[in-house]
């Protein structure tokens, strides 16, 4: 194995964290669907798929390094959202938490002089900058909408954030 036991365990934990993000966003997608906001629902479905990709990329890295992957239990994601703003705020909070997780992994890699893992994690460090920025922008837009009608109008333009970002 080319990474330390401690690093392998920490990366394995991050596989779980990214799958939990997948789970969380998928639930957000279903919640938006129930609210009748289909574009927001699509947005979070796409976000969920990205998170699945993040999880699998780390799992592949562990295997490439000769470590094993062990899938861990996922908690039940929050589902009782009361408003669009509450969902989007929770998404931003979630990305801030993931950023802290990634930073802790990057610190461990540096501490261990594990240059391969440090380099691998750069993708995630950069990704988190974009994800927090996009989630913040989306929250700002949702906060400006004080009616369902305005949220529906906002739906006409939010997917553009994905292509602009």
Where do contacts with ligand FEO occur on this chain (CB under 6 A)? 18, 21, 51, 54, 95, 98, 131
Minimum distance, C-beta of residue 48 to ligand FEO, in the bound complex (Å)? 10
Minimal CB distance residue for ligand FEO: 54
Residue 77 vs residues 42, 81, 99, 102: alpha-carbon distances, Å: 18, 11, 18, 20
- C-beta of residue 101 within 8 angstroms of C-beta of residue 31: no
Between residues 89 and 145, which has the closer beta carbon with respect to ligand FEO?
Answer: 89
Between residues 96 and 159, which has the closer beta carbon with respect to ligand FEO?
Answer: 96
Between residues 54 and 67, which has the closer beta carbon with respect to ligand FEO?
Answer: 54
Residues 6+ apart with CB under 8 A from 78: 24, 27, 90
How many residues belong to the chain?
165
Between residues 60 and 146, which has the closer beta carbon with respect to ligand FEO?
Answer: 60
Per-residue DSSP letter, 66 = T
Largest CA distance in the chain: 56
Q: Tokens in use for 91?
A: 């998404």
Cα–Cα distance for residue pair 120/106, rounded to 1 Å = 9
Between residues 119 and 148, which has the closer beta carbon with respect to ligand FEO?
Answer: 119
Minimum distance, C-beta of residue 18 to ligand FEO, in the bound complex (Å)? 5
Tell me which residue has tokens 């989630």.
Answer: 135
């Amino acid at each position: 194995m080319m990474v330390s036991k401690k690093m392998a365990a920490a990366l394995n934990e991050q596989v779980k964290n990214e799958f939990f993000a997948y789970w969380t966003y998928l639930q957000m997608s279903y919640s938006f669907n129930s609210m009748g906001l289909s574009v927001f629902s699509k947005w979070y479905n796409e976000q969920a798929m990205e998170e699945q990709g993040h999880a699998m990329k780390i799992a592949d890295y562990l295997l490439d390094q000769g470590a094993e992957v062990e899938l861990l239990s996922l908690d039940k994601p929050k589902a009782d959202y009361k408003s669009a703003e509450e969902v989007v705020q929770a998404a931003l909070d979630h990305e801030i938490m993931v950023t802290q997780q990634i930073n802790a992994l990057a610190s461990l890699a540096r501490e261990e002089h594990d240059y391969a893992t440090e380099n691998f994690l750069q993708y995630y460090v950069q990704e988190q900058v974009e994800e927090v920025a996009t989630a913040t922008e989306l929250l700002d837009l949702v906060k400006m909408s004080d009616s369902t009608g305005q949220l529906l109008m906002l739906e006409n333009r939010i997917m553009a954030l994905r292509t602009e970002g």
